[in-house]
Copies of this chain bind each other. A is one copy, B any other.
Amino acid sequence: MSQITIVDLAETLGLSKSTVSRAFRDSSDISPKTKERILAKAEELGFSPNLYASSLRGNRSQTIAIIIPEFGNKFFSQAIKGIELIARSKKYHTLIYVTDNSVQNEASIVRSLVNGRVDGVLISASGEGKDHSHLQTLVDHDVPIVFFDRSYDDFHGHFVTGNDFESSRLATQHLVDNGCKNIAYLVINRKVSIGKIRMDGYRKALEDNGILFQEKLILDTENDEVKNRAAIRNLIQQHKPDGIFASVERLAISTIRVAQQEGVQIPENLKLICFSCLDIADLLSPSLSVVKQPAFAMGKEAANFLFRILDKPTELRQQETTLLQSSLIFQDSSRKL
């Protein structure tokens, strides 16, 4: 079946193409009766207006993009699910891109988006890098950006995230309360907002308890599971921490595996807590204490925020940060003996 057009439809109905066109917009100037007649015929013929022709005219793509650094954990799947849900309810389509934690990939993806392909972008920042010109290009093209979960300190934009500082403080405090005195912090990348803010919460808790912050207990990791495990092993052997606070789930999982190999008992010799959206944290052995972010809600909130900007492009909003509450779930991995 070749493409049927608005003209074909107009001819079969004895109308002009303008009238037919109006039937598909929420147009004012059309009688309900003709509109219905047109829509019925369209349904019958399986016609729907060519997307590219209308986008070319109207300059709207009805499409947003999600750019995420990785797909390893439940957080991002849940967030995407939330975003897609909202987008679809707004009749928007959702493009997905995974950078694999590479800023270069992020930049190249973003550049492929400035030709009108999307009306807005939801992004969770990938890694470090000081050059955010790719994002600036987007802004210059009037494509609004909303960050979620991870952003860049030196790029000012809208940001929806968890109350990470407070959650991190409480998680660390919890380790202290359960007897830890030598707590290590595993950071995904201290140059990314998420790594830094969570570390600030960790530092605050130490300070509150008169514990000295020690650089040697901070492990800045890479995008390589094998290297990370070696580094964690090294950390455990060298500095014998009695508690570990991991800023992301996969670092906690690596810790569990290393502990198993090294014969370090959790929680007896080492207490562990981490950020995670794992819904089976309670089924792990030992059950894992987690800071659980409201991933699904965060996706929805970020998307809603983006659509609010899209709906009122005039209302030039200030840079705005929305914090959502995470919940702390204490289980066996950090249990006091």
Q: Please report A residues at the B interface, Cβ cutoff 8 Å.
A: 1, 3, 46, 48-53, 55-56, 61, 63, 66, 71-72, 76-78, 80-81, 84-85, 88, 91, 93-98, 109, 111-112, 114-117, 137, 140-142, 253, 256-257, 280, 283-285, 287
| Chain B proximity of A188: nearest CB distance (Å) | 18
Q: Which of A81, A96, A114 has the most CB of B within 10 A?
A: A96
B93 near A94 with CB under 8 A, answer no
Classify the secondary structure of A's interface with B.
mixed
Instruction: Determine the residue in chain B with the shortest Cβ distance to A140.
Output: B1
| Contact, CB under 8 Å: A80 / B71 | yes
Cross-chain contact of A50 among B78, B91, B111, B115 (Cβ < 8 A):
B115
Bound complex: CA of A98 vs CA of B71, how far in Å?
16
Do residues A117 and B93 form an inter-chain contact, with CB atoms below 8 A? yes
Pairs A-B, 4 closest by C-beta atoms: A285-B285, A52-B56, A52-B55, A96-B96
Contact A51 B117 (CB under 8 A): yes
- Which listed residue, B1, B56, B280, B284, touches A142 by the CB 8 Å rule? B1
Residue of B3, B142, B284 touching A285 (CB-CB under 8 A) = B284
Q: Tell me how many chains of this kind the complex includes.
A: 2
Partner of A116, one of B51, B66, B141, B283: B51
List chain B residues, Cβ under 8 A from A114. 46, 48
Q: List 23 A-B contacts (CB under 8 A).
A: A1-B140, A3-B141, A48-B114, A51-B115, A52-B52, A52-B53, A52-B56, A52-B61, A56-B56, A71-B78, A71-B81, A76-B77, A84-B98, A94-B95, A95-B95, A95-B96, A253-B283, A257-B283, A280-B284, A283-B284, A284-B285, A285-B285, A285-B287
Residues on the B chain within 8 Å of A48, using CB:
111, 114-115
Contacts of A283 in B (CB 8 A): 253, 256-257, 284-285
Closest chain B residue, CB of each to CB of A61: B52
The answer for the CA separation of A52 and B60 in the assembled complex, in Å, is: 10
Cα A76 to Cα B253 with chains together (Å): 21
In whole angstroms, what is the CA distance A53 to B117 when docked?
Answer: 11
